[in-house]
Amino acid sequence: MIDSDTSNSRTLGRLTEKFPDLPAQRPAVMVFHDDLRLHDNAALAAAAEHGPVVAVYVREDPETTEARALGRATQWWLHHSLERLAASLAEHDVPLIVLDGHPLRLIPELTRQIGAPYVAWSRRYHQPQRDLDASLKKLLRAQGVQAHSFAGHLLAEPSDVVNSQDRPYQVYTPFSRRLRAAVENSFVQGLVPPTGVPRTLRGPGADLECTRADLAELALLPSHPARRDPDWTAKLAEVWEPGEDGARRRLADFLERINGVDDDPGYAAGRDVPSVSATSSLSPHLRFGEISPHAVWAAIEELDDAGEDGTVFQSQLMWRDFAWHRLYYHPDLATTNMRKEFDAFPWPWDPEEFSAGMAGGRDGRRAVNAEGFLGDLGEWRAGTTGIPLVDAGMRELWQTGHMHNRVRMVVASFLCKNLGIHWRHGEEWFWDTLVDADPASNAFNWQWVAGSGDDASPYFRIFNPETQAKRFDGEGVYIARWVPEHGTDSYPEPIVDLKESREMALAAYEGTKK
């Protein structure tokens, strides 16, 4: 059963007051998901071709839809991205309606109220959402409404990148060859300006203010009175600019330095050095679809001299697709080892720890009950392990909602192999604190480091944080920035011996193969 919601009823009720002539206008509905942009948005373009547009975003209730609840960092991002989207749509007289609940009730109700004959949305690839969208399409068509979904979140559809036996690839290299060929035959659709209801037909009240009121009811920000989270998001705003404009500025900045600037190396040589600005920082914008992967790919192709730097960066875009294609076929990627032999691995796991640790306004870095392995987990999350590169990465994450990719591999390896803690604890922490945490890449990359995933790094590849620091932060610039007390008496001793813990990890792995 799909329950009604009072605030949603108020929102939908406002439509007939604000837009008394909407039924006569026969508007199309655009349902936004993780495609919060106007450019290169095939679904929005299709809706715009079918009349004036009413846009809607539904925060799907995890209890009834099985959608995974967003972490705190992505909630912050979503709030601000929706605000930016509403402002961009308002320039075209398009209202953005923000609802909370079950889309199988809310979207058909919305289409009935405004007499919409056409509904469009961007295709989704995670099983719970795929099933929802298939059911929604069936419901709408039963009402006599045209309902269509469109590609746009990936470089290519999972059905288009298969081997000669029409089976999905499980290894990245052949996948990437097939994907590159598919992408080279694609194109980027520019902005097809949507139109809204003429302002002369509007009732009283500003669209943006209504959207902001709807957003406030979602309580996405920790500063909201309905929440008791510590307000740690001010520091995120110092680093990030959510929204399509921010994404396009990030891309423009990256294109100017992809081949290197002054003494900083280009992307291919500098992407593993955490102290230089060689990476794109586009991942959260791609996660929320504020820019399409096709647009980023095309921008690289249009450069005259991208060379190896452009090719290596495009391989990272293809790795993102690889993760999503694997999630398409394995929707339980965040909870289940892809390599079943790891089910016997003696990783400690406490299924209640994460939800308990986030309750009551705590920042959640320290476990509620720090006995046993949970004490080590708390030191890892807080960046107080006594291992400088690990601590630097974890503090960067807490301060910025982001972590350099090379360091992500190091801290993940340290958790799973040196501390011997289940990769799911790490995946959950990243899910809550990364602004770019998405259902595919987050789980896929954790399983890659742990050794339990498809085409994963072998388990015996254990990143030594000291060796990695010497190689990629030789002058200690990155560590000094995030761990200023390193080298002083106030810095803690390591919580684990790297050599001994490595040997224990390899012995445990050998035990799973017997």
Please tell me the predicted confidence (pLDDT) of residue 224: 79
- Other Cβ atoms closer than 10 A to 474: 10
Rounded CA separation 440/449 (Å): 14
Please tell me the predicted confidence (pLDDT) of residue 205: 37
Rounded CA separation 348/509 (Å): 14
Work out the mean pLDDT of the chain and round it to a whole number. 89
* 89, two tokens: 């749509």
Kindly indicate the confidence band of residue 404, based on its pLDDT and cuts at 50, 70 and 90: very high
Domain boundary among 217, 237, 267: 217
Is position 87 within any domain?
A: yes
Q: Which tens digit of pLDDT belongs to each residue from 416-443? A: 999 999 999 999 999 999 999 999 999 9
Higher pLDDT, 139 or 363: 139
Is position 186 within any domain?
A: no
Lowest mean pLDDT among 13-17, 150-154, 163-167, 177-181: 13-17
Higher pLDDT, 39 or 230: 39
Please tell me the predicted confidence (pLDDT) of residue 511: 81
Domain boundary among 192, 217, 242: 217
Q: What are the beta bridge partners of residue 122?
A: 150
Please tell me the predicted confidence (pLDDT) of residue 358: 55
pLDDT greater than 60 at residue 360: no
Kindly indicate the confidence band of residue 4, based on its pLDDT and cuts at 50, 70 and 90: very low
3-class SS of residue 235: helix
Please tell me the predicted confidence (pLDDT) of residue 229: 72
- Domain holding 430: CATH number? 1.10.579.10
pLDDT greater than 80 at residue 165: yes
What is the share, in percent, of the chain residues with pLDDT greater than 90? Answer: 72
Please tell me the predicted confidence (pLDDT) of residue 2: 39
pLDDT greater than 90 at residue 188: no
Write out the binding residues for FAD. Answer: 267, 279-283, 313, 436-438
Q: State the average pLDDT over residues 495-514.
A: 91
Write out the binding residues. Answer: 267, 279-283, 313, 436-438
Please tell me the predicted confidence (pLDDT) of residue 217: 86
pLDDT greater than 70 at residue 7: no
Please tell me the predicted confidence (pLDDT) of residue 352: 81
3-class SS of residue 138: helix
* 488, two tokens: 């002083």
Is position 252 within any domain?
A: no
Q: State the average pLDDT over residues 405-411.
A: 97
Q: Which tens digit of pLDDT belongs to each residue from 291-338? A: 999 999 999 999 988 899 999 999 999 999 999 999 999 999 999 999
Q: What is the pTM for the complete model shown?
A: 0.93
3-class SS of residue 147: strand
Is position 414 within any domain?
A: yes
CA dihedral 475, 460, 354, 281 (to 10 degrees): 40
Q: Are residues 365 and 498 in the same domain?
A: yes
User: How many domains does the chain divide into?
Assistant: 2
Lowest mean pLDDT among 21-30, 282-291, 442-451, 501-510: 21-30
Q: Are residues 213 and 344 in the same domain?
A: no
Kindly indicate the confidence band of residue 200, based on its pLDDT and cuts at 50, 70 and 90: very low
Structure letter (DSSP) for residue 330 = -
What is the share, in percent, of the chain residues with pLDDT greater than 70? Answer: 89
3-class SS of residue 203: coil
3-class SS of residue 63: helix
pLDDT greater than 70 at residue 201: no
Q: Are residues 370 and 507 in the same domain?
A: yes
Q: At residue 81, what are phi and psi to the nearest 5 degrees?
A: -65, -40
Is position 410 within any domain?
A: yes
Is position 335 within any domain?
A: no
Please tell me the predicted confidence (pLDDT) of residue 202: 39
Q: Which tens digit of pLDDT belongs to each residue from 75-101? A: 999 999 999 999 999 999 899 999 999
Rounded CA separation 469/159 (Å): 41
Q: Are residues 145 and 10 in the same domain?
A: yes
Higher pLDDT, 363 or 356: 363
Q: What are the beta bridge partners of residue 283?
A: none
Domain boundary among 217, 239, 256: 217
Kindly indicate the confidence band of residue 207, based on its pLDDT and cuts at 50, 70 and 90: low
pLDDT greater than 70 at residue 8: no
Is position 142 within any domain?
A: yes
Q: State the average pLDDT over residues 358-367.
A: 69
- Domain holding 105: CATH number? 3.40.50.620
Q: Which tens digit of pLDDT belongs to each residue from 338-353? A: 999 999 999 999 988 7
pLDDT greater than 80 at residue 13: no
Spatial contact of 448 and 323, defined as CB atoms under 8 Å apart: no
Please tell me the predicted confidence (pLDDT) of residue 9: 61
- Strand arrangement, sheet containing 53-60: 96-101, 53-60, 28-32, 118-122, 146-150
The C-alpha R_g of the chain, in whole angstroms, comes to: 24
pLDDT greater than 70 at residue 247: yes
pLDDT greater than 90 at residue 284: yes
Domain hosting 144: range is 6-152+206-217
Is position 158 within any domain?
A: no
Spatial contact of 211 and 98, defined as CB atoms under 8 Å apart: yes
Rounded CA separation 324/322 (Å): 5
Residues contacting residue 356 through CB under 8 Å, at least 6 positions apart: 368
